[in-house]
Structure 1
Amino acid sequence: MKLNALWLVLACSCLASCKMTAGNIDFGALSKVGSSLTQLGSIDEPQELALGDDFAAMLLGASKLHPNKALQSYVNNVGRYLASYSDRPDLPWTFGVLDTPDLNAFAIPGGYVFVTSGLLANLNSEAELAVVLAHEIAHVTERHQLAQLERDNSMNFLSSLATTVVSYQEQRKPGSGLNNYRNRQIADSVLNAGQQLFTKGLSRDDELAADTLAVRLAARAGYDPYALAAVMQKLDSMQGNSSAISLLLATHPAPADRLTNIEQQLQKLEKQHPDTRSVRLDLPERYQAALRRK
C-alpha cells in the first residue's frame, strides 16, 4: 500500500486558502484538515472525527478498496465486534480492505481502520485478523497518530510549504511551462515532506503499547490472544523475502522485538486469567470461507 500517498497529502493540509491542483493533489480539498491540525494539543472528539473523515477521504482517493463486498462486510463485522469491547466503543468505527498486495494495516483518527488484501492473504484465521485489527484499534483509542503529529511539531514544515504554494499562486500562468514546472516542484516538496514526517511511523513505545492492548482486547472479545504471536512469527519469517512487507518493517519495530513483548504480555495475561487459553475463537474455516466469498 502506498501509505506515503496518504501522509504526503496529510502533510499539505494546512493550505487552507489554496484552490489549485499540483501533481494530482487538490490543495483546495485539504482546507478543512488544516484548521484542525493547528489545534492538535487540545483537539476534542468532534474535531478528531472531522479530521478522520478528511484523512479517510484522501486515502481512498489514492488507494482503492477491494471490490469484494462480502469480504469488506466480513472485516467490518469482525472489526466492529472488537471495537465494541474497546475503551471507545461509541466511535463510528469503519473498517476497510485496500486492494493491494502489500502487507500492511493502519488506523486513522476517529475510528477508521484499514487492512490490505495482501496481508489478509497471509493470515490463517479469524483470530489472526482480529489481533491485527485490535492493534490498529488501540492506536485510535490511545490517539497515537494525533500525539505523534504534535510531537513532530510538523506545523513548522507546513508553514514553510504554505509559503512555497503562495509563491506558486502568485507566479502561476495557465498553460505555461512555468506552471508545469511549479506543479512538479510543489508535488515533489509534498512527497519529500510526507516521507520525512511519516514514513518513520509511530514511536516504538506506541507500537509496543498497541500490541499489549491488542492482546488484551482480543482476549476480552473472546479471540485467541496467542494469534498475535503467530502473526509476528510469520512476519519475522518473511523479512528479506518480499518487497511487499518493506513498508511495514520500515515503520514498525522488528517482528522479533514485538514478539518478545507479546510473549511477556501473554504470560502476564495467563497469570491474571488462568483460563486465557480456554474456549478462544480461532475460526480458520470461517476466515477462509470469507476470503472465498464474492
Structure 2
Amino acid sequence: MNAISIRLYRNVLAGSLLAALSACNMTANGVNFGKLATVGQHLSQSGGIDEKQEMQLGDEFSAMLLGASRLHPDQALQQYVNKVGTYLATQSARPDLPWTFAVLDTPDLNAFAIPGGYVFISSGLLATLNSEAELAAVLSHEISHITERHHLREIERQNSVGLLTAIASAAEEYRQEHNSERPSARAYQNRQIAENVLSAGHQLYTKGLGRDDELAADAMAVRLCAKAGYDPYALAAVLQQLDRVNSDSSALSLLLATHPAPADRLSQLEQQLNQLPVLAQPKLALSERFIAALQH
C-alpha cells in the first residue's frame, strides 16, 4: 500500500469511527465526545470549521481547561473581568460571538483564548497588573486570537494528524467499551477515552501558536485598546513587567513555552505603537478601579 493509499485509508477509517461516536452523545469528565466527534467529522469532510462548529469546539475545550484549573471563587472579581472583556469584545471584529471571560484560580502567569469566544486569565497574572488598561491589553490579545481564528487555523492545518486522530481513537475505544459486559472494564475504558481527547486539547495549549500569530495578536491588541478608549501603551507595560520576572520561575514556564520572549514581543510592539495615529484625547488607565476590584 503506497503513502497516498495509506492516507486515504486512515481518513476513511477516522471518518467511520467519528460517525459512530457522534451518534452516541457520550460524555465523560465533563467533555461531550459526541460534539467533538461531530466537529472532527465536519473537519475531515470539508477541511474547515464553520462558526457553529467553532462554538461546539469551544464549549468542549473550555470544559477541558476547567477540568484542570478551577475558577477563582470571588464572584465580584469574575463579574468585573467579564464586564471589561465583554466591552472590549463589542469593539472587536466579531462582536456577536457569545463571549465569556473568567479568572482561573492559579498562580501561573498566563491567559488563554479558546475558539467560540472563551477567554481565561489566571489570578497570578491579574496580581501582576496595575490598571484596568493593562487588564484590557491582556484580554485584547486573547480576543484577537479568537477574531483571527488562530487556534482554528492550527486545528485545520493539522486536520486528522492531531485532534481528529485522538477523537477517532476515542471512538474505537468507546465502541469496545460499549460492547463490554464488565462494569470495571467500562469504567477503565471511559477514563482512557477521556484522557485521549483531553490530551488533544491540552496539546494545543501547551504547544502554543506560532510566533507570527502571537505578534499579530499583540499588534491587534494595541489597536483594540485604543479603539475602546484604553491606553494602547498598556500592553508594553505588561510585557515589561513579565520581562522582569525571573525566567526560571515556574509561574512563567507555560507562558514562555507558548509565546515569544517578552523582550522580543516588546521590540516588535514598539513598531506598532509608532504607527498609531496621534491620540486626540488621553486614553484611560483606570488604576484605582482595577485595584478596587482586586481588593474587593
Q: TM-score, normalised by structure 1?
A: 0.81
Tell whether 2:163 aligns with 1:159.
Answer: no
1:238 aligned partner: 245
Farther off after superposition, 122-131 or 179-188 = 179-188
Matches of 1:202 and 1:265 in 2, distance apart? 20
Which of 125, 138, 143 does residue 132 from structure 1 map onto? 138
Per-residue CA deviation, residues 19-49 of structure 1 (Å, 9 max, x unaligned), is 778xx7366x321122023324443323323
Which of 103, 112, 118 does residue 112 from structure 1 map onto? 118
Q: Any stretches of 5+ residues in structure 2 without a counterpart?
A: 1-17
1:11 aligned partner: none
2:54 aligned partner: 48
Aligned AA for 1:138?
S
Aligned AA for 2:265?
R
Aligned AA for 2:279?
D
Higher relative contact order (CA 8 A, sep 6+): 1
Measure how far apart 1:207 and its partner are: 0.9
Matches of 2:113 and 2:25 in 1, distance apart? 28
Aligned AA for 1:91?
L
Measure how far apart 1:62 and its partner are: 3.7
8 Å contact kept, 2:64–2:201:
no
Farther off after superposition, 238-247 or 222-231 = 238-247
Distance 1:58 1:160, change over 3 A: closer
Farther off after superposition, 131-140 or 196-205 = 196-205
Matches of 2:117 and 2:103 in 1, distance apart? 15
Farther off after superposition, 186-195 or 44-53 = 186-195
Measure how far apart 1:55 and its partner are: 3.0
Which of 269, 275, 278 does residue 279 from structure 2 map onto? 275
Matches of 2:121 and 2:175 in 1, distance apart? 36
Tell whether 2:37 aligns with 1:31.
Answer: no
Distance 1:172 1:62, change over 3 A: farther
Distance 1:60 1:26, change over 3 A: closer
8 Å contact kept, 2:170–2:196:
yes
Tell whether 2:216 aligns with 1:209.
Answer: yes
Tell whether 2:92 aligns with 1:86.
Answer: yes
Per-residue CA deviation, residues 160-207 of structure 1 (Å, 9 max, x unaligned), is 4433443454456223xx667656655665565555554211121111
1:5 aligned partner: none
Measure how far apart 1:238 and its partner are: 1.3
8 Å contact kept, 1:135–1:211:
yes
Which of 96, 100, 107 does residue 106 from structure 2 map onto? 100
Farther off after superposition, 278-287 or 178-187 = 178-187
1:63 aligned partner: 69
Matches of 2:100 and 2:107 in 1, distance apart? 21
Q: TM-score, normalised by structure 2?
A: 0.81
Tell whether 2:270 aligns with 1:263.
Answer: yes
Aligned CA-pair RMSD: 2.7
Matches of 1:84 and 1:192 in 2, distance apart? 33
Q: Any stretches of 5+ residues in structure 1 without a counterpart?
A: 1-13
Measure how far apart 1:231 and its partner are: 0.9
